[in-house]
Amino acid sequence: MTNSVETAPAIDREQLADWVEAVAARGDRPAFAELFAYLAPRLKAYLIRLGAGPTAAEEVVQDVMLTIWRKAASFDRRQASVTTWTFTIARNRRIDLIRREQRPDLDPEEPALQPSPAPAADRLVDEGRRDERLRDAIRELPPEQAELLQLAFYEGKSHAEIAVLRDIPLGTVKSRMRLAFNRLRRVMEPYQ
């Protein structure tokens, strides 16, 4: 496996959020094109990591970007970064597709699994700084903890699957994951 967790190139987080807000406010196509250029290739990489073929991945990316276009008004930069918001849309879309596979007769009216409830937006935070701190904290995790995050989030593995895959006890997977999040939580505390 290559290095654990790569860090993002320096794109201005505020810029991403501004583009989403421009799409929400006036259906701004140039802003959306910028979002597409930044997000779509990353989404495609994410879906391929999760086992999708390139063509299928491309189709799901189209769905996710369409949702971003349509739901731009529901984005709230105080609650989450654009990449976090995008991640949850892609993840929910994937869960929805898996569910349809299991139940081909699914009612087409069934709404996609709803986005998870957001935390209260009763705090104003320095969003750019918050995201930067989290990114640095992830990069500084010990490799065995960073690898677990990768397996869970990039490859959609359950803790039990990770335990089998890495031949370590389930309890160890859980405790390493806890340690990782304890560090991240400490770093993020001022922003929560």
Partner 1 sequence: MTPAHHVPFDLLVERAAGALPPAMTMMVDAHLALCAECRAEHALCEAVGGELLDGLEPVPMADDGLDRLFARILQDDEGNEAADAPEPAALPWVDDPVGMRLPPVLRPVWARSREKARWRTLVPGVRCLDLDLPVGPEGSAMLLHIDGGRGIPRHTHRGREFTLVLSGAFNDERGRFAAGDLSITDDSVRHKPVAEPGEMCLVFAVLDAPVRLTGALGIVQRLMGG
**What residues between 136 and 155 interact with partner 1 by CB under 8 A?**
138, 149-150, 152-154
Member of 73, 95, 164, 165 binding partner 1 (CB under 8 A): 95
155-174 positions binding partner 1, by CB under 8 A: 156-159, 161, 174
Residues sharing a CB contact under 8 Å with residue 74, sequence separation 6 or more, in sequence order: none
Tokens standing for residue 163 = 């335990």
Q: Any idea what DSSP says for residue 115?
A: P
Member of 19, 21, 24, 81 binding partner 1 (CB under 8 A): 81
CA proximity to 184, closest of 154, 145, 155, 152: 145
Member of 21, 94, 145, 147 binding partner 1 (CB under 8 A): 94
Does 128 participate in binding partner 1 (rule CB under 8 A)? no
Does 125 participate in binding partner 1 (rule CB under 8 A)? no
**Residue 32 CB, nearest distance to partner 1 (Å)?**
8
CA proximity to 88, closest of 107, 111, 109, 112: 112
**Residue 9 CB, nearest distance to partner 1 (Å)?**
9
Nearer to partner 1 by C-beta: 134 or 168? 134
Does 17 participate in binding partner 1 (rule CB under 8 A)? no
Residue the block writes with tokens 């105080």 = 78
Does 62 participate in binding partner 1 (rule CB under 8 A)? yes
Nearer to partner 1 by C-beta: 21 or 131? 131
Residue 153 CA to residue 145 CA, distance in Å, equals 12
Measured torsion, CA atoms of residues 158, 163, 166, 172, in degrees rounded to the nearest 10: 120
Max CA separation in the chain (angstroms): 52
